[in-house]
Chains A and B, each alone.
Chain A
Amino acid sequence: MPWRYVGRRLLQLAVILFGVSVLVFLMLRLIPGDPAQLLLGEYATPAELEQLRHKLGLDRSLAVQYWVYVKSALQGDMGVSIRTGAPVFQEIAPRLIATVELSLAAMVIATLFGVGAGVVSAVRQYSVWDYLTMFLALVGVSMPIFWLGLMLIYLLSVKYPLFPMMGRLSMGLDIPVVTGLVLVDALLSFRPDVLWDGLHHLILPAFTLATIPMAVVARITRSSMLEVLDQDYVRTARAKGMDEWVVILRHGLRNAMLPVVTVLGLNLGLLLSGAVLTETIFSWPGLGRYVVDSLMGRDYAAVQGCILIFAVIMTLINLLVDLVYVVLDPRIRIHE
Chain B
Amino acid sequence: MNRLELFTDLLRNRTAALGLCLIAGIVAVALAGPALAPYDPLVPAPLDRLQPPSAQHLFGTDSLGRDILSRVIHGSRLSLLIGIISVTISLVPGTVLGLLAGYFGDPLDSIIMRVMDVLLAFPAVLLAIFITAILGPSLPNTMIAVGIVYIPHYARIVRSNVLSLKQQLFVQAIRHLGGSHARVILLHILPNTFAPIIVYATLGMGTAVLQAAALGFLGLGAQPPQPEWGAMLSEGRQYIQMAPHVAGFPGLAILLLVLGFNLFGDGLRDVLDPSLRSR
List residues of A whose CB falls within 8 A of some B CB: 12, 15-17, 19-20, 23, 27-28, 30-32, 125, 138-139, 141-144, 146-148, 150-151, 153-154, 158, 219, 223, 226, 268-270, 272-274, 276-277, 280-281, 291-292, 295-296, 303, 307, 310-311, 314-315
B219 within 8 A of A: yes
Given A31-B134, A314-B121; A142-B126 close (CB under 8 Å): no
* Residues in A whose Cβ lies below 8 Å from that of B266: 138
Look across to chain A and name the residue whose beta carbon is closest to the beta carbon of B259: A142
Shortest Cβ gap from A141 to chain B (Å) = 6
Look across to chain A and name the residue whose beta carbon is closest to the beta carbon of B279: A226
CB interface residues, B 61-102, toward A, < 8 Å: none
The listed residue (A12, A15, A16, A291) touching B129 by CB distance below 8 A is: A291
Interface residue SS majority, chain A: helix
The 8 closest A-B pairs by CB, nearest first: A147-B251, A19-B118, A273-B125, A272-B123, A142-B258, A142-B259, A154-B244, A273-B123
Given A141-B262, A142-B210, A144-B251; A292-B118 close (CB under 8 Å): no
Q: How far is the CA of A151 from the CA of B123 in the complex (A)?
A: 25
Q: How far is the CA of A115 from the CA of B219 in the complex (A)?
A: 35
Shortest Cβ gap from A305 to chain B (Å) = 12
Shortest Cβ gap from B106 to chain A (Å) = 15
Given A151-B244, A280-B218; A31-B133 close (CB under 8 Å): yes
Interface string of B228-272 (1 = CB under 8 A from A): 001001001100110010011011101100110111001000000
* B213 A150 Cβ-Cβ under 8 A: no
B40 within 8 A of A: no
B117 within 8 A of A: yes
CB pairs A–B below 8 angstroms (17 shown):
A20-B121, A20-B122, A125-B279, A138-B266, A142-B255, A146-B213, A146-B217, A147-B247, A151-B244, A158-B240, A269-B122, A276-B125, A276-B218, A280-B217, A280-B218, A295-B129, A295-B220
Which residue among A147, A148, A226, A272 has the maximum number of chain B CB atoms within 10 Å of its CB?
A147
B206 within 8 A of A: yes
* Residues in B whose Cβ lies below 8 Å from that of A32: 136
Shortest Cβ gap from B122 to chain A (Å) = 5
B130 within 8 A of A: yes
* Residues in A whose Cβ lies below 8 Å from that of B130: 27, 303, 307
Which residue among B230, B247, B252 has the maximum number of chain A CB atoms within 10 Å of its CB?
B247
* Residues in A whose Cβ lies below 8 Å from that of B214: 144, 146, 273, 277
How many pairs of A and B residues are in contact by the CB < 8 Å rule?
Answer: 140
Shortest Cβ gap from A254 to chain B (Å) = 21
* B217 A269 Cβ-Cβ under 8 A: no
The listed residue (A16, A144, A268) touching B254 by CB distance below 8 A is: A144
List residues of B whose CB falls within 8 A of some A CB: 114-115, 117-126, 129-131, 133-134, 136, 206, 210, 213-214, 217-220, 230, 233, 236-237, 240-241, 244, 247-248, 250-252, 254-255, 258-259, 261-263, 266, 278-279
* Residues in B whose Cβ lies below 8 Å from that of A274: 125
Shortest Cβ gap from B60 to chain A (Å) = 14
* B263 A138 Cβ-Cβ under 8 A: yes
Which residue among A12, A141, A158 has the maximum number of chain B CB atoms within 10 Å of its CB?
A141
The listed residue (A17, A138, A148) touching B259 by CB distance below 8 A is: A138
Shortest Cβ gap from B73 to chain A (Å) = 18
* Residues in A whose Cβ lies below 8 Å from that of B237: 150, 281
* B217 A277 Cβ-Cβ under 8 A: yes
Q: How far is the CA of A30 from the CA of B132 in the complex (A)?
A: 12
* Residues in A whose Cβ lies below 8 Å from that of B263: 138
Shortest Cβ gap from A167 to chain B (Å) = 16
* Residues in A whose Cβ lies below 8 Å from that of B259: 138-139, 142
Q: How far is the CA of A277 from the CA of B252 in the complex (A)?
A: 17
User: What would 7 more interface pairs be, CB under 8 Å, given A19-B117, A295-B133?
Assistant: A23-B118, A23-B119, A138-B259, A138-B262, A270-B123, A272-B126, A273-B125
Shortest Cβ gap from B191 to chain A (Å) = 28
* B133 A151 Cβ-Cβ under 8 A: no
Which residue among B214, B254, B263 has the maximum number of chain A CB atoms within 10 Å of its CB?
B214
